[in-house]
Structure 1
Amino acid sequence: MTPVRLRIALCGGLLLSPVSTTADPTSVVTLQNDSLAFTVHLQGTTLTGMRPPGMTGDWLDTQGHFLCFDRWGPITAEEKAQGIPFHGEARRMSWSLQEASAHTAHLKTSLPVTRFTINRHIALAPTDGAFHIINVIANPTESRRSYNLVEHITLGAPWQQPAVTFATNAKRGILHNRPNSQPDIPFNWPRVQVDDRDVDLRTHAMFEGPVIYSLVFEAEAPWGWICLRNQETSELLGYLWRTADFPWLNIYSKTEAGKFVRFAIEPGTTSVHAVMAEVISRPPRLGRSVVNWLEAGDTRQLALRGFTTKIPPQAGDISDVTLENDHVRISFADGTAPILIPLPADSLPTEPPQTTS
């Protein structure tokens, strides 16, 4: 096994203070090949510093790509007093590094309040700009427990430019969490009517203040995907997942004085950004559940695949993204030859090691 590149970083205000001491909260693992590099922090398993080698400008912002689990969103005063933070305990924990190499990291933690255990496998392909993140969650308690899991990918300045456009196979959505408690707006991708404006969501829509919209996929679609494409540089960043794992794609943006302050794409198991008691009480939205349950002693695996590449400048719109023989296949509407990007090997366990509560 290739020795892991382990270094010490002063993380400043990037990550929350640890609840446990299972790992040094300033330790990080750097995964890198000739096409892509990123850093995995043992605290929260947050990814930062993502960029192709030799490029300037972090593709992720200072919050990075972090895990929201066992919830997505705010907490009650009582939950805060118990030690549960905003977006759940997983982000706050110092995870133990189980195994690492030049291209892989396997991390594990147990959540002291909600009592879930979780293994997170992060792997980068040996040569190309593709990676995967596989979460295996377990409920070692004797009771059924509610949860949600969202991959919070907070994108940096290179993906906040006017030249960046979006493509996805989502079909319907809800514009919600708008300022001043304005009502939700259902829409069909890619256009939404807001305040007498016809907004094309395939470009950076400048809504003043914070806005969240949530998308769903056709019931028969096995895969959900989103691609961000810089029309000036031909760079592409995309994500692919099973809709059975993540039925929702949430997009968060915040602008002030016409400039982006924050922008995130968030595939997940819910679209309700609220305290857990309220989420549990909500009926399905757009025919999709907004809360998940894990029976006593059960496990569940949820996976996300990411990929980066440069596409031909003259290529048309992206029409489909899927898996083909352990490759991500990107297809174009104008007949441009598809792009195949090899993924890391999927030789990962389907269940976590034995854990105790």
Structure 2
Amino acid sequence: MELCAYRGRKAYRLENDQLRLTVLAEGGHIAELLHRSSGVNPLWTPPWPTIEPSAYSPEQHPEYGSDAESKLLSGIMGHNWCVDLFGPPSKEEAAAGYTVHGEASVVAYDKDFKAHLPLSQLDVQRQIALEGNRVAIVETVRNLLPFDRSIAWQEHVTLGPPFVERGVTRLHAPILRSAKPNGEEFEWQDRVYPTAMRSADFHAHLLTAGAVAIENPRLGLELRYDWNLQDFPWLGIWEENCDRQFAPWNGETLTWGIEFGASPFPEYRFRRATRGLFWGAPTAVWLPAHGVREIRYGLTLQETGA
């Protein structure tokens, strides 16, 4: 593991002859997965300059907005790990210091990718290994409290240009059922990024296998994620196609969020807790008192047809 600077941020880097992977020290975001032969990083880089979350303050950094998401947006890139929260905090949680998608997105990680979440009273760790064109990841969450609890655990993968391209980039996934955030069921047939110059959407999908592949046939590249379906039965698709006009988005962001995990929707803790099962599937991860949960998944970046 090599300490480096990435776009003005402190980061850690792993690389081999096929891939270069860069993880931000603050926030733990997988910011770069560079395909060496093509020079393409499929992960999203925000159009705004980012800073270390520890340096953020609402008074000094109004360019990131003025709500519970602003601290996250000040330092976000690429693949974001959502732990304890997936979605917004309540008004009371925000006043206590919680940010959108939880603390794992904004705390500092050491060289072993370990971090402590003081508000959530969780210890988290990522173990990352490169295996040719595949990245193997093991994530561990330890409950420091003396009682059982449920938490959100979501892999918020955000893809961006040049990999995400209007009318070109396509998603493949073994989808059983699909729903909008209001619970309305629908059939998602057109799995190509929209051709419209401005659009926005979110929908959730119950899967039959732990896998998703996103390809850009023009670039000849495909990004695949694989995991255990019992750990992560849900896939959320978030589309931000130059729709948000407020800071820091300013109508300039084209992204595709590929959000696989334990929950169907990004929502308040109370709503997740009262939702219970959805279509017979769990919507959270259960952690016993002083318990540890480990989840493994992998990602592969390769040329189409490889």
**Aligned position for 2:78:** 64
Q: State the Cα distance separating 1:283 from its structure 2 match.
A: 3.2
**Aligned position for 1:137:** 141
Indicate whether 1:297 and 2:296 are aligned. Answer: no
Aligned sequence identity (%): 25
Q: State the Cα distance separating 1:265 from its structure 2 match.
A: 0.2
Bigger strand fraction: 1
Q: Which digits, 9 at most, give the CA deviation of each residue in 1:11-48, with x for residues without a partner?
A: 4xxxxxxxxxxxxxx43111111111121111121111
**Aligned position for 1:114:** 120
**Aligned position for 2:275:** 282
SS in 2 for 1:87: coil
Q: State the Cα distance separating 1:69 from its structure 2 match.
A: 0.8
**Structure label with greater radius of gyration:** 1
Whether the aligned pair in 1 keeps the contact of 2:18 and 2:35 (CA below 8 Å) is: yes
CA distance in 1, matches of 2:175, 2:129: 26
Residues 288 and 48 of structure 1: CA distance in aligned 2, closer, same or farther (over 3 Å): same
Bigger helix fraction: 2
CA distance in 1, matches of 2:269, 2:22: 31
SS in 1 for 2:152: strand
CA distance in 1, matches of 2:204, 2:40: 28
Indicate whether 1:167 and 2:181 are aligned. Answer: no
**Aligned position for 1:253:** 239
The one-letter code sitting in structure 2 at the alignment partner of 1:37 is R
CA distance in 2, matches of 1:295, 1:216: 25
Q: Which digits, 9 at most, give the CA deviation of each residue in 1:81-121, with x for residues without a partner?
A: 222111001111101223xxxxxxxx111110110111111
**Aligned position for 2:13:** 30
Q: State the Cα distance separating 1:56 from its structure 2 match.
A: 4.0
1 or 2 for the larger relative contact order (CA 8 Å, sep ≥6)?
2
Indicate whether 1:238 and 2:224 are aligned. Answer: yes
Q: State the Cα distance separating 1:163 from its structure 2 match.
A: 2.2
Alignment of 1:1-357 (within 5 A): 4-9=1-6, 11=8, 26-62=9-45, 63-98=77-112, 107-125=113-131, 128-161=132-165, 162-176=167-181, 183-188=182-187, 190-191=188-189, 200=190, 202-205=191-194, 209-218=199-208, 223-256=209-242, 261-312=254-305
**Aligned position for 1:354:** none
Whether the aligned pair in 2 keeps the contact of 1:129 and 1:308 (CA below 8 Å) is: yes
Q: Cα RMSD over matched residues?
A: 2.1
**Aligned position for 2:49:** none
CA distance in 2, matches of 1:209, 1:282: 28
The one-letter code sitting in structure 1 at the alignment partner of 2:202 is I
Q: State the Cα distance separating 1:146 from its structure 2 match.
A: 2.2
- Return 5+ residue gaps in structure 2 as ranges: 46-76, 244-250
Whether the aligned pair in 1 keeps the contact of 2:81 and 2:104 (CA below 8 Å) is: yes
Give the TM-score, by structure 2 length: 0.80
Across the two proteins, how many residue pairs are aligned to each other? Answer: 266
